[in-house]
């Protein structure tokens, strides 16, 4: 039995994880965590996650170290959870996005003390997409223009999504581009024609869109599209469970979902 703590328990992903962990025979939720002052502190985690038989309250701090902590929260709170886990040598699965460069450096330091799976998107399909998008860009070559379009719900705070940025990073790495120079966010207003080697990133926010990513590879005379659509947050939750099972007995290191999936 793997004992799991969920950080960001009252969020959309946190609630999904609570339910999925409660349904799993090999997992046990031992802590549901939220930030200091959060209005759901003291609330039943079972009620939040739709797991009626779960007798556990949402708390601010861990009372005892779990086997694995899963974090889907906000960068400032997430970094504190990761560093707490590093001090106790507790492995982490982190799906939070929007970290600053300084925070990424702190995560790298924490990963020297414990195992950290850091992924902007836990979906198995999306992580296959990362790999495939890079391979396609390498194979198609410089004659194909690349544009990435992502869509998410109206409540998402960061744009472009961490997933879209990761796609662009993988394409840039595969094709020898400097993403800082190649990335173009949006295309207007203006009259500047498209430069060779650009990677366009475009964000759509609206309604309750769970997550959609399309990569366009366009040349004179044809277009190839690579697309992933998440139908529910459960796909991210099931990927996170796959990651926590994998990382539970790993040594220190900074890992990705590519490592989890053996890509």
Residues 82-108 have pLDDT tens digits of 999 999 999 999 999 889 999 999 999
- Range 110-122 average pLDDT: 94
Q: Domain 2-118+234-261 falls in which CATH fold? A: Rossmann fold (3.40.50)
Q: If residue 223 lies in a helix (H) or strand (E), which one and from where to where?
A: strand 222-230
Domain 2-118+234-261 and domain 124-230 have a common topology: no
The pLDDT value given to residue 206: 97
Max avg pLDDT among 60-74, 184-198, 215-229: 215-229
- Predicted confidence at residue 134, as pLDDT, reads 97
Q: What is the pLDDT of residues 159-183, one digit of tens each?
A: 999 889 999 999 999 999 999 999 9
124-230 CATH choice from 3.30.360.10, 3.10.129.10, 1.10.3720.10, 3.90.420.10? 3.30.360.10
pLDDT, position 97: 85
Residue 52 has pLDDT above 80, yes or no: no
Q: How many residues comprise the chain?
A: 263
pLDDT attached to residue 100 = 92
Q: Are strands 199-205 and 183-185 parallel, antiparallel or unpaired?
A: parallel
Catalytic residues: 152, 156
Q: Which residues of 49-81 are buried (b: 16+ CB within 10 A; e: fewer)?
A: bebeebebebbeebeebbbbbbbbbbeebbbeb
Bridge partners, 200 (sequence order): 147, 184
Average pLDDT of the chain to the nearest whole number? 93
What are the sequence ranges of the domains in the chain?
2-118+234-261, 124-230
pLDDT of 101: 94
Question: Under a CB-based contact definition with an 8 Å cutoff, are residues 170 and 121 in contact?
Answer: no
State residue 171's pLDDT score.
98
């Amino acid at each position: 039995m793997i004992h799991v703590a969920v950080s960001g328990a009252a969020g959309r992903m946190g609630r999904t994880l609570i339910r999925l962990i409660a349904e799993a025979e090999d997992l046990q939720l031992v802590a549901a965590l939220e930030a200091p002052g959060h209005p759901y502190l003291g609330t039943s985690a079972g009620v939040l996650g739709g797991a009626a038989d779960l007798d556990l309250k949402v708390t601010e701090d861990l009372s005892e170290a779990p086997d694995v902590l899963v974090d889907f929260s906000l960068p400032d709170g997430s970094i504190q959870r990761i560093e707490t886990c590093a001090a106790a040598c507790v492995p982490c699965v982190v799906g939070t996005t929007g970290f600053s460069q300084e925070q990424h450096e702190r995560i790298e330091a924490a990963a020297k003390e414990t195992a950290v799976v850091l992924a902007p998107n836990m979906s198995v399909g999306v992580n296959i997409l990362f790999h495939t998008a890079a391979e396609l860009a390498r194979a198609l070559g410089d004659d194909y223009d690349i544009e990435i379009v992502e869509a998410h719900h109206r409540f998402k705070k960061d744009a472009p999504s961490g997933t879209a940025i990761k796609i662009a990073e993988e394409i840039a790495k595969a094709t020898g581009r400097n993403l800082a120079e190649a990335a173009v966010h949006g295309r207007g207003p203006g009259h500047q024609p498209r430069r060779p080697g650009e990677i366009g990133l475009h964000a759509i926010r609206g309604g309750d869109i769970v997550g959609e990513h399309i990569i366009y590879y366009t040349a004179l005379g044809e277009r190839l599209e690579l697309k992933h659509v998440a139908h529910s947050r459960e796909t991210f939750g099931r990927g996170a469970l796959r990651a926590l099972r994998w990382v539970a007995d790993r040594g220190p290191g900074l890992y990705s979902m590519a490592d989890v999936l053996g890509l």
